[in-house]
Amino acid sequence: MATKTYREALNEALREEMYRDPNVFIIGQDVGKFEGAYRVTQGLLAEFGPKRVKDAPISEMAIAGAGIGAAMAGLRPVVEFMTINFTLVAIDQIVNNAAKIRYMFGGQVSVPMVIRTPGGGGQQLTAQHSQNLENWYANTPGLKVVAPVTPADAKGLLKAAIRDPDPVFFLENLALYNTRGEVPDEEYEISIGTADIKREGTDISLIAHSRMVNVALQAAQRLQDEEGVSAEVVDIRSLRPLDTETIVNSVKKTNHAVTVEEGWTTFGVGGEMAALLADQAFDYLDAPVKRVGGEEVPMPYSKPLERAVIPSVDKVVSAAMEVLA
Amino acid sequence: MKQHMDYYRQMLRIRRCEEQIGWLFSRGLTMGTAHLSIGQEASAVGVMAATRPDDYAVSTHRGHGHLIAKGADPAMMLAEICGRATGFCRGKGGSQHIAVRELNFLGTNGITGGGLPVATGAALYAKTRKTGQVVLSFFGDGASNQGTFHESLNMAAAWKLPIVYVCENNGYAMFTPTCDVTSVVDISVRGAAYGIPGVKVDGMDLLAVREAAQLAILRARTGHGPTLLEVKTYRFCGHSKSDNGTKYRSREEIAEWEKRDPLRTWRARLIEEGVSEAEIEQLEADVELEMAEATRFALDSPYAEYEALEGVYADESARRYLPGFFNSSRDAAMAVEVSA
Ligand SMILES: Cc1ncc(C[n+]2csc(CCOP(=O)(O)OP(=O)(O)O)c2C)c(N)n1
Ligand SMILES: [Mg+2]
């Protein structure tokens, strides 16, 4: 195994899938000549040419729609949106078309399309550029939503997403692109719909996705070092479909749970986890589930204000101690 | 002559202020992002020179020039960009989200094309209330490929709204040359699709911009509806603080445009018109000092520390009647009527 960045892992997955299947193509703003606003598509235009790597105008609605139509007709588009915030311009196409076309049309056509986009805040990019909206998409039947945190998961899940017969919303994170991790050398794929235990523990389950898995891992270490608490970190990894079994089994073992998400908790991922646990692990819970998430405000700009709003290791540790109290 | 000196002062204030912004970022004295309009100053100043103070303006991610040209205090703007409590938005907005209530400046906007519909709404207000105000809606060439551009122009044309859509065409949308992804060479021809005038003007020529803006504004103010005004311009710097603008543009191309630097040509013009070198140097020194002081004000100001969770909704006291955020004094009068 070699150590690679999250960005490199994504780039490899794209390159390998483009070699494997000539129907796979990339469309998005600055994905070609500039090689990606965050350099994920580096080298691909040179390697595959402008038919397979298409620079698009600033027309998110049309970009999403073009992906959908091309997918219905038989291509395998990988649509890149510069950030998740700009998917809002395209959300009608994603929710009203991509998600519904297979079902609505009685199974005659499908939309094998991937939407790749980074979410998240913490870079002082302010209210319109720091959002976490994956729960909006995870709320929508017909879409699949994955949110890998490690380079290995990113590569394996992107391959699975590209091969999937249905539209997959593939969430990345601005703060993850430069993070490193081991990536298998051999060909592999990670099934959509599988969660992953990122750290084993016995006292409490910290349930998170995307970048917040790393925050949960840091919190788990602190809990171990400072409080002698053994925390298990459950990486949801796939928001829809959800691997309920792995999540529920973890809590059956630890009897305590804290959920961690970067976005707003109201109507969010943690709420869904709490409902799942109430439904399937009620008798195993020794305390109510606690949710940690972003404060319920548009992201403020200045560093102190932003810091006050974003979930932190501190907040996860204190929530865990409250649950265990 | 005084007017021509004023134009120079305004353009120079924008340039020097944005140089301060670049410096603040390069030194890590502030974080996040900002988009400079260095090279595009004649557009902001030329258009604003044709406006009335109570006209509305709606801007983009590249909005510092529009703000200063409309009269915003650079010190408060720099404070906002440094995230300080003394900034226009108390440090909550940053460069991409600055509004100035007293100036009827309805905000810079981080979403490409996000401002056009809002500007259209302000024009609907002005028309409904017959205030005589005109709206200046600034946006880039890239934004003219968004649905919001087309929807807004159609709506404003259909309702004959008092608005001027000012497309600052600098040839690039981030790192993509506009010509690679746009159906037309001149954005102005798109006006024809909505039955409104589409006017193209040299954005390096302040007087040409002012004249074109005057006509468009007159048309809007006299009830004849919107104009699409395309200002051909160029940014000398990178798209944002994250690039220097040379990876996707040739040095020759940049140098070619720099020859037409609106500040340099305007300065030469002043000399030709008989202004003395000493007068100009005095003005330049004044601006230099103003921006140095503005920067010091920003950096010396405190952060707002404890109000992260405040301000999402109106205060309880404002619930009964919330005066229009940016409205004219007519509104205040109406508010009195309503509450009486
Ligand atoms: C909906 C949306 N898509 C993409 C972006 C990223 N983005 C920021 S500025 C920009 C380019 C805008 O180009 P243009 O309208 O020509 O304005 P300029 O930057 O040249 O002033 C892009 C694509 C965004 N902010 N919003
Ligand atoms: Mg542009």
Q: Using one digit for the tens of pLDDT, what is the confidence trace for B138-154?
A: 999 999 999 999 999 99
Mean per-residue pLDDT of chain A:
98
For every residue of A1-59, DSSP letters joined together read -EEEEHHHHHHHHHHHHHHH-TTEEEEETTSSTT--TTSTTTTHHHHH-TTTEEE--S-
DSSP H or E stretch at residue A239: strand A238-240
Residue B322 has pLDDT above 70, yes or no: no
Q: Which two tokens stand for residue A155?
A: 């590569």
For every residue of A127-194, DSSP letters joined together read GGGS---HHHHHTSTT-EEE---SHHHHHHHHHHHHH-SS-EEEEEETTTTT-EEEE-SS-----TT-
In contact, B122 and B56? CB cutoff 8 Å: yes
Percentage with pLDDT > 70 across chain B:
93
d(CA A240, CA A146): 7
Rg of chain B on CA atoms, in Å: 20
**B72 — phi, psi (to 5°)?**
-70, 145
Distance in Å from the first CA to the final CA of chain A: 42
d(CA A49, CA A233): 42
* Residue B324: per-residue pLDDT: 55
In contact, A262 and A293? CB cutoff 8 Å: yes
For the Cβ of B326 lying below 6 angstroms from any atom of ligand 1, the answer is no
Nearest Cα to Cα of residue B60 among B172, B139, B176, B150: B139
List, for residues B224-255, the tens digit of each pLDDT value: 999 999 999 999 999 998 899 999 999 999 99
Average pLDDT over residues A99-123: 97
Which residues in chain A have their CB less than 8 angstroms from residue B109's CB? Answer: 128
Q: Which of A111-115, B32-36, B303-307 has the weakest average pLDDT?
A: B303-307
Percentage with pLDDT > 90 across chain B:
90
* Residue A220: per-residue pLDDT: 98
Average pLDDT over residues B121-142: 98
Interior CA angle at B235 toward B231 and B237, to 5°? 170
* Residue B241: per-residue pLDDT: 86
Please report where in the chains the tokens 């965050």 appear, as a residue. Answer: A38
Q: Which two tokens stand for residue B281?
A: 């140097």
Domains of chain A and any CATH numbers: 2-183 (3.40.50.970), 196-324 (3.40.50.920)
Mean per-residue pLDDT of chain B:
94
pLDDT bucket at B339, cuts 50 / 70 / 90: very low
In contact, B156 and B120? CB cutoff 8 Å: yes
Which residues in chain A have their CB less than 8 angstroms from residue B173's CB? Answer: 29, 57-58
* Residue B109: per-residue pLDDT: 97
Residue B335 has pLDDT above 50, yes or no: no
Q: E-strand spans in chain B? A: 56-58, 135-140, 163-169, 172-173, 176-177, 198-202, 227-232
pLDDT bucket at A185, cuts 50 / 70 / 90: very high
The pTM of the full predicted model, rounded to 2 decimals, is 0.95
Residue A324 CB neighbours (<10 A): 18
Average pLDDT over residues B116-128: 98
* Residue B340: per-residue pLDDT: 38
List, for residues A231-246, the tens digit of each pLDDT value: 999 999 999 999 999 9
Q: Which two tokens stand for residue B186?
A: 């001149």
> How far is A188 from chain B, CA to nearest CA, in Å?
34
Sign, CA dihedral A146-A287-A221-A304, equals positive
Q: Which residues contact B104 (CB under 8 A, 6 or more apart)?
A: B54, B55, B56, B57, B133, B326, B328
Q: Which of A41-45, A99-103, B57-61, B330-334 has the weakest average pLDDT?
A: B330-334
Mutate to test the pocket of ligand 1, among A61, A81, A82, A129 (most ligand atoms within 8 A of CB): A82
d(CA B196, CA B202): 20
Domains of chain B and any CATH numbers: 2-306 (3.40.50.970), 311-340 (no CATH)
Residue B336 has pLDDT above 50, yes or no: no
Mutate to test the pocket of ligand 1, among A34, A55, A58 (most ligand atoms within 8 A of CB): A58
Distance of CA B315 to the CA centre of its chain: 30
B179/A contact by beta carbon, under 8 A:
no
Q: Residue B55 has what DSSP assignment?
A: -
List, for residues A267-305, the tens digit of each pLDDT value: 999 999 999 999 999 999 999 999 999 999 999 999 999
